[in-house]
Amino acid sequence: MSEVTLFDTHTHLNDPDLYDQAQVLIEQAISAGVRHLVVPGYDMLSSRQAIELSERFSEVYAAVGVHPHDAKTLTASDLHQLDLWCDHEKVVAVGEIGLDYHYDNSPRDVQQDAFLAQIDLAKKKRLPIIIHDREAHADILQILRNTDAVSIGGIMHCFSGSVELMRECLQLNFYISLGGPITFKNAKKPAQVALEVPLDRLLIETDAPWLSPEPFRGKQNHPANVRLVAQKIAELRGMPIEEIGAITTDNALRIFGLQGSLSRGLQNED
Ligand code: NI
């Protein structure tokens, strides 16, 4: 049997429900073919925990940032701490950041200010950004254009938009990351995007513990399930899962700047 290589580009092993099981979940993921994982922060504590996990496990890389839900908590000293964390050797992106107009847990102008400040940070550090966009497509695009985010690029995490929106994101130098929703029976838009996204801009993710793919919809998600996402894309596109795995892994290594730096070997896991 040929080997499948997978990269889960968005998995919250820093979530309180997964954090204590990180070792077991990573072992299960490795058994499923996962070679690398990026754990994004969503507030200051989870950003620090993402870095801790990256130090414990050679397969794990971290992103640091404050989610739009928590934008109202972001202080100047937090931004300074994020700036310091960005210099850590296993921090590969700023995220997840963006706008969430579905929940509006922080006021929209506050979300926009936090998003802008963290885009500035990413530009200063030359890191890509991981974007959370919920019902805020127009403002996200406008901010990405106004800030020249094309110069750093990044990832539209768990992309939920149309093919037309996908094309606008591609023009802005962004990658399209697909997760569990492409396996849902009513998921017409994500399936269409999975078919039409250029293969050199496609990424896969779980967003664990959220968004479990079928047949586990509604259950707690974990990084091994990224294989089900790859399998679904392979079916939709009529390609072997090995090829989808190899292409999306290459893409992830490129966007996170990890090409050529993978011969570190296993780190000590204390
Ligand atoms: Ni997330």
Quick: pLDDT tens for 42-72: 999 999 999 999 999 999 999 999 999 999 9
Looking at this protein, which amino acid is placed at residue 70?
D
Mean pLDDT confidence for 174-193: 94
Residues near ion ligand 1 (Cβ under 5 Å): 96, 207
10 alpha carbon – ligand 1 mean position (Å) = 6
Q: Which two tokens stand for residue 230?
A: 């790859």
- What's the gap in Å between 1 CA and the centre of ligand 1? 33
Give the whole-angstrom CA distance, residue 116 versus residue 98: 9
pTM, to two decimals: 0.94
Distance 212 CA to ligand 1 centre (A): 13
- Confidence class of residue 266 from pLDDT cuts 50, 70 and 90? very low
Rounded distance from Cα 11 to ligand 1 centre (Å)? 7
Q: Is the peptide bond before 242 cis (omega within 30 degrees of 0)?
A: no
Separation of first and last alpha carbons in the chain: 33
What length does the chain have? 270
Closest CA to 70 of 40, 49, 99, 93: 99
Reduced to 3 states, what is the DSSP secondary structure of residue 9? Answer: coil
Query: What pLDDT, in 10s, does the model give residues 91-123?
Result: 999 999 999 999 999 999 999 999 999 999 999
pLDDT at position 160 is 87
Q: Which fold has domain 6-257?
A: TIM Barrel (3.20.20)
Which amino acid is it at 14?
N
> Is residue 202 within 8 Å of residue 239, measured between CB atoms?
no
Structure tokens that stand for 146 in this block: 């106004």
Give residue 69 CA to ligand 1 midpoint distance, Å. 11
Confidence of residue 187 (pLDDT cuts 50, 70, 90): confident
Share of the chain above pLDDT 70, in %: 96
Is the pLDDT confidence value at 270 over 60? Answer: no
Question: pLDDT tier at 265 (50, 70, 90 boundaries)?
Answer: very low
Type of residue numbered 90: K
Compute the C-alpha angle 199/39/42, nearest 5°.
Answer: 110
**Mean confidence (pLDDT) of the chain:** 94
Given a cut of 60, whether residue 263 has pLDDT beyond it is no
Distance 130 CA to ligand 1 centre (A): 9
pLDDT tens for residues 10-42?
A: 999 999 999 999 999 999 999 999 999 999 999
222-241 average pLDDT score: 98
Give the H/E segment covering residue 129. Answer: strand 129-134
* 80 vs 120: CA distance, rounded Å: 12
Sheet with 60-64, side-by-side order of all strands = 6-8, 34-40, 60-64, 91-100, 129-134, 154-156, 174-178, 202-204
**Distance between CA atoms of residues 81 and 66, nearest Å:** 12
Mean pLDDT, rounded, for 73-84: 97
* CA dihedral for 242, 244, 250, 255, sign (positive or negative): negative
> What integer pLDDT is reported at residue 264 of this predicted model?
43
CA distance linking residue 53 with residue 227, whole number of Å? 21
Distance from residue 85's CA to the centre of ligand 1 (Å):
19
**pLDDT above 80 (res 231):** yes
Checking if the pLDDT of 267 tops 70, the result is: no
DSSP result, 34-95: EEEEEEE-SSHHHHHHHHHHHHH-TTEEEEE---GGGGGG--HHHHHHHHHHTTSTTEEEEE
Residue 262 confidence (pLDDT): 58
Q: How many angstroms does the Cα of residue 12 sit away from the middle of ligand 1?
A: 7
| Percent helix, percent strand, percent coil in the chain, to nearest 5 | 45, 15, 35
Tell me how far CA of residue 97 lies from CA of 152, 200, 219, in angstroms: 14, 23, 25
Residue-wise pLDDT tens digits, 132-150? 999 999 999 999 999 999 9
* Residues 6 or more apart in contact with residue 54 via CB below 8 angstroms: 39, 60, 61, 62, 88, 90, 91
With a CB cutoff of 8 Å and minimum separation 6, the contacts of 128 are 92, 93, 94, 122, 152, 153, 154, 155, 255, 256, 257
